Structure 1
Amino acid sequence: MNKHSYPLGIAALMLAGCMNMQPKYERPAAPIPAQWPATADAVQKQATAPAVVGWEQFFTDPDLKKLIRQALENNRDLRVSTLNIEKARAQYQIQRADLFPKINATGSGTNQRTPAAASTTGSTLLTHQYSANLGFSSYELDFFGRVRSLRDQAVYQYLSTEEAKRSAQITLVAEVANAYLTMVADMESLELARQTLRTQRESYDMTKRQLEFGSVTELTLRQAETSVESARADVAKYMTQVDQDRNALVLLVGTAPEVNLDEMRSLKAVSQTATLPDGLPSTVLQNRPDVLEAERDLQGYNANIGAARAAFFPTISLTASAGVASNELGSLFNGSNRAWSFAPQIVLPIFNAGLNKANLKVAEVNRDISVAQYEKAIQTAFKEVSDSLAQRATLEEQLSAQTALVNATERSFTLSRLRFEKGLDNYLTVLDAQRSYYSAQQNLITVRLSDVSNQVTLYKVLGGGAF
């Protein structure tokens, strides 16, 4: 090499020390429309980004807040997510530590006896060797960014687990809220069934007295009896559902609830939530934790390409130590016993049967797979929000229609009873009217539950609140 080219070689080596072989990361374009479907326009005007509304502001019922708070502290699935974060943080620290030399202090002593038969001098030899050193071994000079790329991949893996935990938190909040609201709705249905049973028993007793006076037939009595038994069966059914709802809620909370779950509640009273403001562009989905998790994974695979590319270049590592060495332990630390070693090593890949090319191809394909998974995550999020908005657009009309139906069937039931009592109609008309009224009341509870569950789902699919 020409002596004038030495400075250029040194400069090139210094530049290589700053080299980063990772591809420049660019967030993939979201493969979704910029706005929600037209059917959602009306309700978009009523909603704000839940990302700025924490769950403690979104939910207003104090008992529900207590249950959510307990679940966030005690739920076992969420605990696993938290432990995964701790593991990812430790893995990042492991990769980061590779950027620095590992310095160790060592002390050693060797005592050896060589018999006369094996000695070059023909007599028995006793040898002693003692040393104390401070140094590092196999420290890689990261000229081509391999170690830094692995460090970056570990960082993104850690950030991905952070987003996974936030996603788990939002899902848990929604599950606790829906389980609680379902239990309250079933409690209302149970109370309605009990009220209906009491009413039917009163009607049955009255019909039985009328039979004794000969004013009705036994057929009428048996028709009244079917209403009693039907209501009794519904009471048993809803008692089972309430118990199962309570068990599901306790499992989600992860410990004994701090609220009395047996206390009767009104769905209308506990279902109040904060309004969700102004229409939002679909790009808000890029801040959803599961979408961010997919993006962190993508960034990690992008960083891994840099490590795979660096494998084509030389690996330079250093081993060095300094200390003292002596044949006598007592004189080990004398000034004249200083010892040192310096052993640089360079490994240049020449032939490995295409291993490095295959590793690079795997890294690039993993990146491409991750791009597709990121795009799929956004598309799934868009569908979930669109479905929730579509349902929300008709729920108000459903509630209005169902309330009107309850009022109409109540009036029909009242009139049919009056006509029966005056002998103008048979009891079968009363029975049909009563069943329609009872069914309409149960369906109203179901629609109310759908309404508030839709609000909870919308809160969840738009990305939830801060934690």
Structure 2
Amino acid sequence: MNLDQHLIKLPLVTALLLTLAGCADFSGIAPQSKLLTPHALSASNQADATVFPQQHWWQAYGDTQLDDLIAQAIAHNPSLKIAQSRMLQAQAAASVADSALYPQVNAAAQSTRERLSANSIYPPPLGGSTVWMNSATVSASWQFDWFGKQHAALEAALGQVRAAQADTQAAQVVLAANVAQQYFSLARLQAQQQITKRMLQHGEQHEQLISQRAAAGLDNALVQHQSQAQVTQIQRDLAALDEQVAIARHALAVLTGAEPDATAQLTARLPLNIQADVPHAIPAELLGHRADVVAARWRVESELQSVHEAKAAFYPNINLTAFVGLEAIGLSQWLAADSRTLGAGPAISLPIFDAGRLRAQLQGRTAQTDVAIESYNTTVLNALREVADKLASGQALQTQLQAQTNTMTQLNAAYDLALARYRGGLSNYLVVLDADNAVLQQHSALIDLLARACDVHAGLMLALGGGYIEPQQSNKSADDKIAKVLK
């Protein structure tokens, strides 16, 4: 029977094997988890797209130092490079899966010096002699993807590629926010350093005046010792701030991918005004503006395709193979026409009884899909919580900043009055120092609130996606496929 006759009978054999496929049944095995949707979460559909930050949102602070630090971090941070390497790894795996859809061609050649057995298939004089055994073949094979197994594997791999791409974007967004927040932390500490130095100067002046008054008999030793203790306390606080500034510098330098001393001369600044369009409600579009949510959704799609791949294993596996080459005993006849060898034919296999192996594999894939779905749901809920937290913190901070500004206004007025009374000879300079210290203490509180506002703003930009925009075609593709399987 020739090759053409084999190919004519192939559909009949396939039909017979499909009839036997009932022995390997995957019924009753399906994912149980459900994806959270904006409707189920009561997310607002009325939000303006302008509430989402631009890709380079940090440039709104107007600080070129911060711009340079974030650019350096994106270029050199090792953690971001790890994410990029994982993306390349996923792309390579997808290329491997894609290659399975096409014919495979291989070549092999072998030449072996061998002694032939005198009691085997070769009669004398070959039997018992030592000869060269030579072969050279080119073989080809093609696995027909009639049941979508290879395509499902490819789609699963592509889902992992898209997830890795989104992960890389998420890592970049997180890195930019971390650099901004660390920069604002350093700015706060350095501002507190300057305030503490001024307080130390006032304390030393206060101690000097008290010592003069004690020498003149106008104050006792108790007051003098208390004044000296205040100076040493401020010196202690200043030393602690010096330590915190050094640690903050080191952390910022490492975020940018540099050695710890790279920011030794950096003087950070807090922005005086932070302007941002923030939503009054959590927008439904958030789920497409968060790279981590998008990555989680693509992992769900990848796992669903892996389920399809596992189901396809229940169906026949059909391969077509062929080979052509030269075989000869001895070197002289190896390349002769009569040494040619060739063959071709189909191969069909079907699991009929496997003691539950395929069902167990499918159950494992569906369980992994449920894990991916619940991971997606967790990511969505955390995203909504982060936005809600930052909005609540931002609103509370605005109230605190307004109250603190009013407090500063009153204390500045008190200081001006104390200075005027001193210049008019109505009070001594100790009153002026006390009034100025009160201003410095409240200025310190204002610096903390401003730094906190900057930190919350950067956190809000991160929570809103940090400028990430998912390609709409891939977004719709994933959502449609997931909805079709899970409906």
Shorter-chain TM-score above 0.5: yes
| Aligned amino acid, residue 351 of structure 2 | P
- Alignment map for 1:3-402 (pairs within 5 Å): 9=11, 29-30=37-38, 31-35=40-44, 48-50=51-53, 52-55=54-57, 57-114=59-116, 121=123, 125=127, 126=129, 128-137=132-141, 139-256=142-259, 261-268=264-271, 275-276=276-277, 281-402=283-404
| Aligned amino acid, residue 297 of structure 2 | E
Q: Deviation per CA, 1:231-256, whole angstroms, max 9, x where unpaired?
A: 22221121111111111111211115
Work out the CA distance in 2 between the residues paired with 1:106 and 1:32: 60
CA separation of 1:229/1:45 partners in 2, compared to 1, >3 Å: closer, same or farther? farther
| Aligned amino acid, residue 44 of structure 2 | Q
| Aligned amino acid, residue 218 of structure 1 | A
| Aligned amino acid, residue 29 of structure 1 | T
- The alpha carbon displacement at 1:265 in A equals 4.4
Q: Deviation per CA, 1:14-63, whole angstroms, max 9, x where unpaired?
A: xx9xxxx9x99x97523422229xxxx9xx8896211x442464443111
Work out the CA distance in 1 between the residues paired with 2:373 and 2:155: 18
Work out the CA distance in 1 between the residues paired with 2:362 and 2:118: 59
CA separation of 1:219/1:411 partners in 2, compared to 1, >3 Å: closer, same or farther? farther
How many residue pairs end up in the alignment?
A: 443
- Which region of structure 1 is more displaced relative to structure 2, 119-128 or 174-183? 119-128
| Aligned amino acid, residue 135 of structure 2 | S
Work out the CA distance in 2 between the residues paired with 1:431 and 1:384: 44
- The alpha carbon displacement at 1:67 in A equals 0.8
- The alpha carbon displacement at 1:154 in A equals 1.1
Work out the CA distance in 2 between the residues paired with 1:46 and 1:202: 56
Structure 1 residues without counterparts, runs of 5 or longer: 1-5
Tell me the secondary structure at the aligned position of residue 137 of structure 2.
strand
Work out the CA distance in 2 between the residues paired with 1:8 and 1:346: 9
Tell me the secondary structure at the aligned position of residue 282 of structure 1.
coil
- The alpha carbon displacement at 1:444 in A equals 0.4
Q: Residue 147 of structure 2 contacts residue 315 of structure 2 at CA under 8 Å; is this kept in 1?
A: yes
- Which region of structure 1 is more displaced relative to structure 2, 207-216 or 310-319? 207-216
| Aligned amino acid, residue 43 of structure 2 | A
Work out the CA distance in 2 between the residues paired with 1:450 and 1:438: 18
- Which region of structure 1 is more displaced relative to structure 2, 295-304 or 214-223? 214-223
Q: Residue 303 of structure 2 contacts residue 369 of structure 2 at CA under 8 Å; is this kept in 1?
A: yes
| Aligned amino acid, residue 338 of structure 1 | R
TM-score (norm 2): 0.80
CA separation of 1:233/1:159 partners in 2, compared to 1, >3 Å: closer, same or farther? same
Q: Deviation per CA, 1:366-414, whole angstroms, max 9, x where unpaired?
A: 2222222212211110111011111112322211111221232344456
- Which region of structure 1 is more displaced relative to structure 2, 143-152 or 169-178? 143-152
- Which region of structure 1 is more displaced relative to structure 2, 346-355 or 318-327? 318-327
Structure 2 residues without counterparts, runs of 5 or longer: 1-7, 19-25, 470-487
> What's the % identity of the aligned pairs?
24
- The alpha carbon displacement at 1:121 in A equals 5.0
CA separation of 1:220/1:430 partners in 2, compared to 1, >3 Å: closer, same or farther? farther
Aligned to 1:3: none
Q: Deviation per CA, 1:270-327, whole angstroms, max 9, x where unpaired?
A: xx56633666723323331110111011001100111111111111123311123334
- Alignment map for 1:410-429 (pairs within 5 Å): 410-412=412-414
| Aligned amino acid, residue 179 of structure 1 | Q
CA separation of 1:264/1:88 partners in 2, compared to 1, >3 Å: closer, same or farther? closer
Q: Residue 51 of structure 2 contacts residue 279 of structure 2 at CA under 8 Å; is this kept in 1?
A: yes
CA separation of 1:446/1:254 partners in 2, compared to 1, >3 Å: closer, same or farther? same
